[in-house]
Structure formats: structure tokens, C-alpha cells
């Protein structure tokens, strides 16, 4: 487990084979896989009682992400942490036990910005939940669909407490 000065815990890891067997493609086609291997993820604990797993991606072509700015790779490929592919985890058996290896510069940028990433990712999730629960007028239907059409959050309504 890693942590910053505010004792906010996070870890960089992979999801287990059990997770991928419980969420196969199809029907869970938006969950990221790379040549049948899992992506490296930033795992952070939500105050709602679940873990948020944000995958590291080499190419992100939308703004719903934390994009790295300091690594050599990021200058070539728009790498970052992709909020649209967040996985919500409640079962500990879905969380790998070994730390994943990521680009050193991207690790440092993650560490330096983890509190911002945590809040930004949680806001992305909260906006989704609030819209579907009728608690938000932040988006009209067209804008909501544009932002969340390819989001993995659609697979985690039970974990997010979305009813109806």
C-alpha cells in the first residue's frame, strides 16, 4: 500500500483473473483488456465503501481522465488514468496482491496528484449516479450520453446503489 502525506491510501495493481472471469467480454465489452491481460490500475478507497480502480492507458482521446504531462510516453501518446473505464470493486478477491509496474515518471505524477485524482474520479462517478437517480440537473440527456456512453459504470449499478 502506498500513501501520501495526508495518509490517503492507494495502490497500483492489477485486477485478478477471477474479476475478468466474472466480467467476461461479451457482455462487458467496455472493461479494458489488453491482449487478454489485465491493465495496471490505480486503486483508491471511496468513502462509499467500495474501491475505485482506474486503469492506466497509453492513449486517451477524451477529457474524462487524468492525463500525464511529465513522462516521455505522455508527450507521445496522451497517456493517463481513464475515468471512463473505472471499475467499482467490493470483493477483495478481485484485487491482485502484487504491485503493478508502471512508468516511473507516471508513478511519480500519480503520487503527486493522488488527492486530485481521487476527488476528480469520485466526482465523475457521483455525477453519473446523481443523474441516474434524478438528483442532478448538471447534464441534459444528450450531454450525459456523450460523457458516459462508453463508460464501464453501467456495469456497476448494484455496487453504486443505483436503483430503478
| Average pLDDT taken over every residue of the chain | 89
CATH architecture under which domain 2-160 falls = Roll (3.10)
Q: How far apart are CA 30 and CA 82, in angstroms?
A: 12
Which 8-state DSSP code applies to residue 39?
P
In three-state secondary structure terms, 79 is coil
- pLDDT at residue 5 above 50? no
- pLDDT at residue 153 above 80? yes
Burial 80-100 (b: 16+ CB within 10 A, else e): bbbbbbbbbbeeeebbbeeeb
Q: What confidence tens digit (pLDDT) does each residue in 29-87 have?
A: 999 886 666 679 999 999 899 999 999 999 999 999 999 998 888 888 899 999 999 99
Confidence of residue 149 (pLDDT cuts 50, 70, 90): very high
- Kindly state the percentage of the chain with pLDDT values over 90: 70
pTM value is 0.90
Q: Look at residue 37 in the predicted model and tell me its pLDDT.
A: 63
Residue 80 · residue 57 · CB < 8 Å: yes
- pLDDT at residue 4 above 50? no
Give the closest residue to 162 by CA, choosing from 48, 83, 55.
Answer: 48
Q: Look at residue 6 in the predicted model and tell me its pLDDT.
A: 43
Please give the average per-residue pLDDT across 6-32, as a whole number.
Answer: 86
Amino acid at each position: 500500500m502506498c500513501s501520501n502525506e495526508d495518509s490517503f491510501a492507494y495502490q497500483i495493481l492489477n485486477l485478478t483473473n477471477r474479476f475478468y472471469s466474472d466480467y467476461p467480454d461479451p457482455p462487458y465489452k467496455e472493461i479494458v483488456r489488453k491482449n487478454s491481460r489485465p491493465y495496471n490500475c490505480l486503486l483508491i478507497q471511496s468513502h462509499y465503501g467500495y474501491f475505485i480502480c482506474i486503469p492506466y492507458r497509453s492513449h486517451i482521446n477524451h477529457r474524462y481522465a487524468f492525463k500525464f504531462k511529465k513522462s516521455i510516453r505522455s508527450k507521445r501518446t496522451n497517456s493517463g488514468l481513464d475515468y471512463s473505464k473505472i471499475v467499482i470493486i467490493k470483493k477483495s478477491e478481485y484485487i491482485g496482491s502484487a504491485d503493478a509496474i508502471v512508468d516511473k515518471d507516471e508513478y511519480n505524477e500519480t503520487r503527486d496528484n493522488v488527492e486530485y485524482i481521487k476527488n476528480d474520479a469520485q466526482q465523475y462517478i457521483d455525477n453519473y449516479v446523481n443523474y441516474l437517480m434524478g438528483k442532478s440537473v448538471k447534464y441534459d440527456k444528450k450531454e450525459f450520453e456523450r460523457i458516459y456512453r462508453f463508460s464501464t459504470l453501467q456495469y456497476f449499478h448494484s455496487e453504486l446503489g443505483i436503483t430503478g
